[in-house]
Amino acid sequence: MERPKGWHPGLLRWLPVVLLAGAVMWGVWRTPGFLTARHVSGVVHLASLVGVLAVGQSVVLIGGGFDLSQGATLGLSAAVAAVGLRDLGWGPVAAAVAALGCGGLVGVVNGVFVAYVRANAFVTTLSMTLIVRGLTFLVLGGRELGGLRAFEPLAASLRVGEMRLSGLMAILGVVAIVGWVGMRCTVWGQHLYATGGNAEAARLAGVRTERLRLASFAVSGLAAALGGLLWLASFYTANARTGEGYELLSIAACVVGGVSLQGGRGSVLGAIGGCLLLQAVGAMINLTELPGEYATLTNGLVILVFAAVDALARRGERR
């Protein structure tokens, strides 16, 4: 069937990105001093934690999945590390290994249910969110543990002129490089793109789609666990609500960065770019002294609009 004239799916897909970037540029013009080295480096620093989550989320989305449990996994990993440091006398290395193992295990459980049981990814990860939140409360014993500075060096910063270069930014850079290489330069990554684009065709071509999807959820869980360590490095505290809502921030970053919610399309670097763009919007909202709820409203609208545009673009490509 002939595609309707006057528009192209690729152009439609990038239209909201252009509009959002235009809104940021308008805000920059209206906000003196926004583009200073100090402020820009601050935006990147603040975006680092969500950027790490977005890398893991993008891997799941590209593979045709969906992970709503990232925020809860972040909280559980932070809680495990906090209890290890405070109550069990662990050192930072042991606490970090336990936290990463915990996050990876949550991801594997998600992957088993989605890939092998064939449960819906949305329902599976939403259920896992509730389970993990309950486990976090039990691990902490209902307490809020504060003053945990064992991971503070990860957030240490170095001043170069007016620019602030932090450990969080360096970690985001390493995670971005590893994620990009894994997705673009390995057979595993190419097979994951194929699985997300058309799982049945990939399976018939000999791709082990179940293993790939399980691995993608494990990657997301590890990214969330790393986010938990970065949370402790930044805020020194853990409670049963740590990381609440961060899964939506990572999804919003991915869709703004061009990662399709329907799988098979997007990139790790695009997800990080989307994260930086949304953080810039949030920073402008703060500078204009508007309530923080405006940033929440913006993220919700972004997810809704970009999901609709992606669906329309997909529909146009099939014509």
Instruction: State in Å, rounded, how far the first CA of the chain is from the last one.
Output: 5
Give tens-digit pLDDT for 281-292: 887 777 777 777
**Looking at residue 266, what is its pLDDT?**
87
**Looking at residue 257, what is its pLDDT?**
85
Domain 13-21+37-145+174-318 of CATH type 1.10.3470: yes
The structure tokens listed for 238 are 């853990």
Q: Which of 125, 81, 140, 99 minimizes the C-alpha distance to 226? A: 99
- Domain limits of the chain? 13-21+37-145+174-318
Q: What is the 3-state secondary structure (H, E, C) of 144-200?
A: CECCCCCCHHHHCEEEECCEEEEHHHHHHHHHHHHHHHHHHCCHHHHHHHHHHHCHH
What is each CA distance from 186 to 11, 182, 198, 219, in whole angstroms?
A: 29, 6, 19, 15
**Contact predicate 186/179, CB 8 Å:** no
Give tens-digit pLDDT for 191-222: 999 999 899 999 999 999 999 999 999 999 99
Helix and strand numbers, DSSP H then E, in the chain: 12, 2
What's the predicted TM-score (pTM) here?
A: 0.89
**Looking at residue 1, what is its pLDDT?**
38
Residue with tokens 């993608």: 216
**Looking at residue 282, what is its pLDDT?**
80
Q: Mean pLDDT of all residues in the chain?
A: 87
